[in-house]
Chains A and B, each alone.
Chain A
Amino acid sequence: MGSHEALSVDPFKRLVKLAARAFYDDITTKGDKQPKTGRSDNRGIAVVVLDALTRRQWVREEDLAKDLKLHSKQLRRTLRFFEEEKLVTRDHRKETAKGAKIYSAAVAATGDGQPGGREGDEKLKMHTHSYCCLDYAQLKDELESKNTVQEYICPNCSKRYTALDALRLISPHDEYFHCESCDGVLVAEADKLAAQELGDGDDNARRRRHEKLKDMLQNMEEQLKPLMDQLGRVKDLTVPEFGSLQAWELQNAAGRAANGDHGNDPSKSSQGFGFGGTPMPYVGETKVEVDFSGIDGKGEIKSENGNAPMKVLPPWMIRQGMKLTEEQRGETKQEAKMAGSLTAVESSDDKKITDEKDDVKNIQDEYVKAYYAALLKRQR
């Protein structure tokens, strides 16, 4: 069951990753007015955050910030942006000591160290892939409508208008649109671009502009093709749904109880997952080594059981028809673990708990066996 679930989650992850790279690559969370110095340039953060979220379910913002070595303010800004983009769901609640306990009991996939945490506004979030689909549709709309809803710009005061303002802009004296504030003659935006690049040769420019637009469109279609393909693949699959925070906690806590696990051991974080796992709240305290064998830009935390050192191919390098092991595809394996057997999840934190280590190993071996059996079966 585990591997099956994992397989249905995987395409969604890939979709998120592709979408992140396609659309949020050069998003800065800074205001436009601030000068972009080298240091404050945080483009690419958005992609990193989204990627990190594909590897988690619900997670506390502070923990995520720590994992990503981001300032929590910066992270929050990014997350708020994604919330507006309907990519990320956040849950805010006042956390009491009891609440923290429930949460830490449910840390099957997240990690929480303070069962006795103080009262405070607790913010958690999850990513729902269905939202991603929705968002994609919205984006596509926007891209298309960019070509249709004409924008006008005032060359004097650079005030912008759209065709929807047309009624207010017409002047009784001539046949141009006039700026409301400075009465300058408005220029259609595409015209302006064309004028900049091609000079003004009325008829020719228009035709050339048209060709250019066509080129751009074609380019876009080409570049979006992997995304579209992925979308097509994902369309018929059920969406991984983590439910509300409360439901998620309950579910995971229940799973834990069923496994006879003692639920509030704070060291039960998920270091064992390697990069595929979940937040590692103790990054500050544990020894961290950069695993050079696993360099893929993710700054992977070395895991001691060494079950994840294989290189992960970045999603944009994976083409159809490539023969890849599951490890190369990314988190499938880890995800399988997460979705599949809570037992494995719970006990894979072999981090410095030597007396549990053997037990853990057994379970992992068992799991790997079962997993490959399932895989073989599927391939036949």
Chain B
Amino acid sequence: MFFHIVLERNMQLHPRHFGRDLRDKLVTKLMKDVEGTCSGRHGFIVAITGIESVGKGLIRDGTGFVTFPVKYQCVVFRPFKGEILEAVVTMVNKMGFFAEAGPVQIFVSNHLIPDDMEFQSGDMANYTTSDGSVKIQKDSEVRLKIIGTRVDATEIFCIGTIKDDFLGVISDPGAAS
């Protein structure tokens, strides 16, 4: 799920950036530092949408660096148990398959793949129904439900299922080509 929230961060800026465009430098650095990171608390920071406020800078002893407390608005993405996501399959193996929904990695174990789908090894490992009409392989798009998340300080990993109504392949690159 996506959230639009306000976060705060202390930015350290080198004295060489001090000047007319100090603020721009600060924002650029903030984006570089923060976007794409993941915190267990808030989820993945997808994009910074605006700066709320930049506090008074504090010169640090010894280095000359200045610390600014910056409040910024950003879009974060945090997966939840029970959430339905659309994801792209990145790897298929005997144990199941891995998929990505944006920054989140999701693993679907073979127990959570419908029973009528069988693993086919080979050049392009895949899960296929017995009649061959549905195939899950690398780059397939699947709709899945998250049934568990593991949230570390800097990492979120999910496990999902496609063994439920309306879940499974939503577009099949193999069929199109």
Contacts and interface: CB of A to CB of B under 8 A. Distances in A.
Interface of A: 145, 148-150, 162-167, 170, 175-177, 188, 190, 206-207, 210
Nearest to B150: A164
Contacts of A206: 115
Given A164-B150, A166-B98, A190 B107 contact: no
A167 B109 contact: no
Given A145-B148, A164-B149, A207-B115, 7 more contacts: A145-B147, A150-B109, A150-B111, A163-B107, A166-B95, A166-B98, A188-B109
B57 interface: no
B115 A210 contact: yes
Contacts of B105: 167
B159 A149 contact: yes
B95 A175 contact: yes
A150 B163 CA distance: 14
B58 to A, nearest CB: 40
B103 interface: no
Interface string B64-93: 000000000000000000000000000101
Contacts, number: 59
B161 interface: yes
Contacts of A170: 91, 93, 95, 98
B134 interface: no
B79 to A, nearest CB: 12
Interface of B: 91, 93-96, 98, 105, 107, 109-112, 115, 121, 125, 147-150, 157, 159, 161
Contact of B96 (A149, A162, A166, A207): A166
Nearest to A144: B147
Given A175-B121, A176-B95, A167 B107 contact: yes
Contacts of A207: 115
Contacts of B98: 166-167, 170
Contacts of A176: 93-95
A207 B95 CA distance: 17
A165 B115 CA distance: 23
A190 B150 CA distance: 22
13 contacts: A145-B148, A148-B147, A149-B147, A149-B148, A149-B159, A162-B148, A163-B96, A164-B149, A166-B159, A170-B93, A175-B94, A175-B125, A188-B109
Which of A148, A166, A170 is the most central at the interface, judged by chain B CB atoms within 10 Å of its CB? A166
A114 B95 CA distance: 64
Contacts of B94: 175-176
A175 B93 contact: yes
Contacts of B161: 148
Nearest to B148: A149
Nearest to A175: B93
Contacts of B109: 150, 163, 166, 188
B157 A167 contact: yes
A209 B151 CA distance: 32
Contact of A188 (B111, B147, B157, B159): B111
